Chain A
């Protein structure tokens, strides 16, 4: 039984229409995004589901997952704070910002906070060099940019998300 198909049947049918009949493999990346929408990472069993829908091998799906940085094979925080520390951003203080944020959150590059909510990552260029320091927040199937940041601003957002998450838990 294909769990992914059962879960997102309409979306997947729509997806298949975008590509020619001979190009079903083109759905691999959109399906990987779909697969990690809820969990935040791609579980091993989903790979087989994707392979079946896209008519390719599990090995090929796994290779694609490993190649692209926005796909995650392992569980991280529910939200990934991905700070650009590339050259233009670094010229505007993003490395210092990253270090300070890392201290405030109490985690290093790639680590996750103990509440399981945030993973902090230094990433490559996000095409927002004029509004550095910037980060993107990847989680809940979305990617949202936060620009012209400082540690205080970012920590306000972090606290806001923490409040929301605990309210969700209680409800």
Chain B
């Protein structure tokens, strides 16, 4: 990318300063919206842009906004800054370095769905980021961009931050709402969906940080401009968090549709020690493990190509690279231990399933397992699929099943002799 659209601090280092943000197109989209557009026109523009949710689900953002009733009752916007997927560290870079663009996204979303209160839910570990974000919110209030009757309009808005306290499950949107309400972070049964019954029982829109940070540029430059990047079904740019066995791990903002080959070898500098690449995971620990053959490496990183060519979800596009030195039995022992730790305990398949998968994985990597344990391991995962209350339980099975199917030799080599 010549110039970043989201990680703009890389060209404009002091964009976290309100004056500098304003000098670089900052708040122009918000002013344009409240002076010249109706809330529905803002939603329409986002819909036309084809922006899809960057938290992992890839659901069309404008369509989600359209689900909120158009009445004048109490509505809420909640920004999901609970970034906790192993391998994902993109929202943190936005929040730390380009906070106003993110906040402007929150403001535009609030205007579009007629919300006068927004909450930013940050993982508790982002304590310091929340402190800084609070200062940025004060700055916007002082400058008249937040508060009552903003810029002389009918629109009023308050933004507050709310800290989580170390629970991955709170990234799941209904668990996040429970957490703001001061309860255990456990997912709700759906329907009703948050668009109808959300925070404090009111219609609520929940969007990921990166999704919201895309919005100001779309409103300012238009849907067609946004569609100038990316693919037909996955327009725009995406921040790829690249980690694992690469020489240059980090965040790379690139158009959707860039191939694994380009991301890993051109941007990421290739594999550490020039080892051979073995596999990739595209959605952090929640991924299938995909064999990194030529077919995989030539696959564009986009929502549709990921499904069509690799039969897997792009997720949050947090690419964990695995080289030939990585044993996949060890790898799944790490991922299932994560999910066992983070399972909220509400539904039985996930609570019990992750517990037993963790036990089996430990048995395997300590070389105390027999060959039948490998099948049992996969079997537990298969029994969980389709039966969990939320995606966490489902995600915990992805790496297990794909690893046993595709890298069985890595498990066989761990058997007791």
- B160 in contact with A18 (CB, 8 Å): yes
- B83 in contact with A127 (CB, 8 Å): yes
CB < 8 Å neighbour of A91 from B124, B250, B326: B326
- A87 in contact with B166 (CB, 8 Å): no
- A63 in contact with B184 (CB, 8 Å): yes
- Report A-chain residues with C-beta under 8 Å of the C-beta of B285: 86-87, 125
- B184 in contact with A87 (CB, 8 Å): no
**Which residue of chain A is the closest to B330 with respect to CB atoms?**
A90
A90 CA to B335 CA, complexed, in Å = 11
For this complex, into which size category does the number of interface residues on chain B fall? 35 or more
Closest CB of chain B to A54's CB: distance in Å?
A: 6
Q: B216 an interface residue at 8 Å Cβ cutoff?
A: no
Residues of B78-98 contacting chain A, CB below 8 A = 83-89, 91-92
CB < 8 Å neighbour of A87 from B168, B334, B344: B334
- Report A-chain residues with C-beta under 8 Å of the C-beta of B251: 130
Most A CB contacts (10 A, CB to CB) among B83, B86, B241, B344 go to: B86
Closest CB of chain A to B397's CB: distance in Å?
A: 16
Residues of A111-141 contacting chain B, CB below 8 A = 123-130, 136
Closest CB of chain B to A92's CB: distance in Å?
A: 8
CB < 8 Å neighbour of A86 from B86, B160, B164: B86
Closest CB of chain B to A78's CB: distance in Å?
A: 17
- B86 in contact with A87 (CB, 8 Å): yes
- Report A-chain residues with C-beta under 8 Å of the C-beta of B84: 124-125, 127
Which among A5-13, A23-31, A97-105, A157-165 touches the partner chain?
A: A23-31
Task: Tally A-B pairs: CB < 8 A.
Answer: 135
**Which residue of chain A is the closest to B84 with respect to CB atoms?**
A125
A127 CA to B239 CA, complexed, in Å = 14
- A68 in contact with B326 (CB, 8 Å): no
- Report B-chain residues with C-beta under 8 Å of the C-beta of A60: 183
- B165 in contact with A125 (CB, 8 Å): no
- B200 in contact with A91 (CB, 8 Å): no
CB < 8 Å neighbour of A124 from B87, B168, B200: B168
Measured CB to CB, the residues of A under 8 A from B are 18, 20, 22-23, 25-30, 32-33, 54, 56, 60, 63-64, 67-71, 86-88, 90-92, 123-130, 136, 142-145
Q: List 7 A-B contacts (CB under 8 A).
A: A68-B185, A87-B285, A88-B86, A92-B249, A125-B88, A128-B89, A129-B320
